[in-house]
Amino acid sequence: MKKHFLKTMVPALLLVIAVFIIGSACTGQEEEYSYNWYPDLDQDGFGDNSASPTVQSDQPLNYTRENNTDCDDTNPDINPNAIDIPNNTVDENCNGLVAITFYKDSDNDGFGDPESGSIFEIELGDVAPDEMVYNNADCDDTNDMINPLADEIVGNDIDDNCNGEIDIDDIRYIDADGDGYGSSEQSPADGVFNSLDCDDTNPLIHPYAKENKENGIDDDCDGIVDEII
């Protein structure tokens, strides 16, 4: 009889105790609990990932509960549910990457086909994906002799240097730094057939150079300093 009691009553008592303990936790009043609240100043439903939580039961004004995934709590258009906008320096969806349009460079001349753009999310400073480039300046991506750095060959009825002119290139411009892009100063003889360079003393600065972020220089001659494309 004693053995039967131990086999039946003891487990039953343990079950009652467990239900009492767990049940009381689940049915308690919500105001008795404490939560981590994070600032949500832009009211997009995502809390500031740089802020420490406020721990209390009720919700403070402009705070969100147990969520600190917002990388810019001053802008409601920036949060983990946002869609990355291509070709700016903003990480709209807070994943640590930015969306950039790259272009296919089938002839491997360093200039991309403007009709072949594809968007990739990358880290700032990453190289372009394989067989792709940052620019879309090629007017014939099947021929590596046709691109903005090519010399115009008069008489072949081709726009060799992609400047929109066919067989018209009788003006040369001084290319002091030898990067293939000319200054605004014309050359009577030697030189190149374009005047696209914004700094003809530095061969790393020209219209199709990759912009180096945070160096304080307009590397790609577009009038904007330290953007990433």
Q: Is residue 179 part of a domain?
A: no
Q: Is residue 70 part of a domain?
A: yes
Predicted confidence at residue 49, as pLDDT, reads 96
Q: Is residue 72 part of a domain?
A: yes
Predicted confidence at residue 118, as pLDDT, reads 96
Q: Is residue 38 part of a domain?
A: yes
Q: Is residue 197 part of a domain?
A: no
Predicted confidence at residue 92, as pLDDT, reads 97
Domain count across the chain = 1
Predicted confidence at residue 31, as pLDDT, reads 56
Tokens of 202: 């530095």
Residues in the chain predicted with pLDDT less than 70, given as ranges, are 1-32, 169-171, 188-189, 227-229
Predicted confidence at residue 159, as pLDDT, reads 92
The set of residues, in sequence order, having a beta carbon less than 8 Å from that of 89 and lying 6+ positions away, is 98, 124, 213, 227, 228
Tokens of 104: 């296919």
- Domain interval for residue 51: 33-77
Predicted confidence at residue 30, as pLDDT, reads 54
Predicted confidence at residue 229, as pLDDT, reads 54
Predicted confidence at residue 22, as pLDDT, reads 43
The set of residues, in sequence order, having a beta carbon less than 8 Å from that of 38 and lying 6+ positions away, is 47, 48, 49, 51, 53, 54, 63, 64, 65, 66, 67, 68
Q: Is residue 61 part of a domain?
A: yes
